[in-house]
Amino acid sequence: MLNTDRDSPLLFLDLDDVLCLNRPYGGRHLQLTPRPPDLYQRIWSVPAIEALQQVLREARPQVVLTTSWLSFLDLAAARQLFELTGLAQLSQALHPDGEAPQLRGQTRLEAIDAWLRRHAWTGKYAIIDDLLSGTGLRRSRHEKSGRLVLCEVDVGLSQVHVPQLLKALTS
DSSP for 50-75 reads HHHHHHHHHH--EEEE--GGGGT--H
Strand ordering across the sheet containing 94-99 = 94-99, 62-65, 10-13, 125-130, 148-151
DSSP helix/strand/coil, 42: helix
User: What does the pLDDT read at residue 5?
Assistant: 59
pLDDT in tens, the chain (171 residues): 344 456 899 999 999 999 999 999 999 999 999 999 999 999 999 999 999 999 999 999 999 999 999 999 999 999 999 999 999 999 999 999 999 999 999 999 999 999 999 999 999 999 999 999 999 999 999 999 999 999 999 999 999 999 999 999 999
Report how far residue 169's alpha carbon sits from residue 100's, in angstroms, rounded to the nearest whole number: 18
Residue 165, sorted as left (phi over 0), alpha (psi -120 to 50) or beta, turns out to be: alpha
- Please list the residues that pair with 150 across neighbouring strands: 129
The CA-based diameter of the chain, rounded to the nearest angstrom, is: 45
User: What does the pLDDT read at residue 7?
Assistant: 80
Specify the DSSP class assigned to residue 126: E
Report how far residue 109's alpha carbon sits from residue 13's, in angstroms, rounded to the nearest whole number: 12
Nearest to 129 by CA among 22, 12, 23, 21: 12
Amino acid at site 16: D
Q: What is the pTM of this model?
A: 0.95
Q: Pairing relation of β-strands 62-65 and 125-130?
A: unpaired
Nearest to 96 by CA among 59, 62, 57, 58: 62
First to last CA, the chain: 25
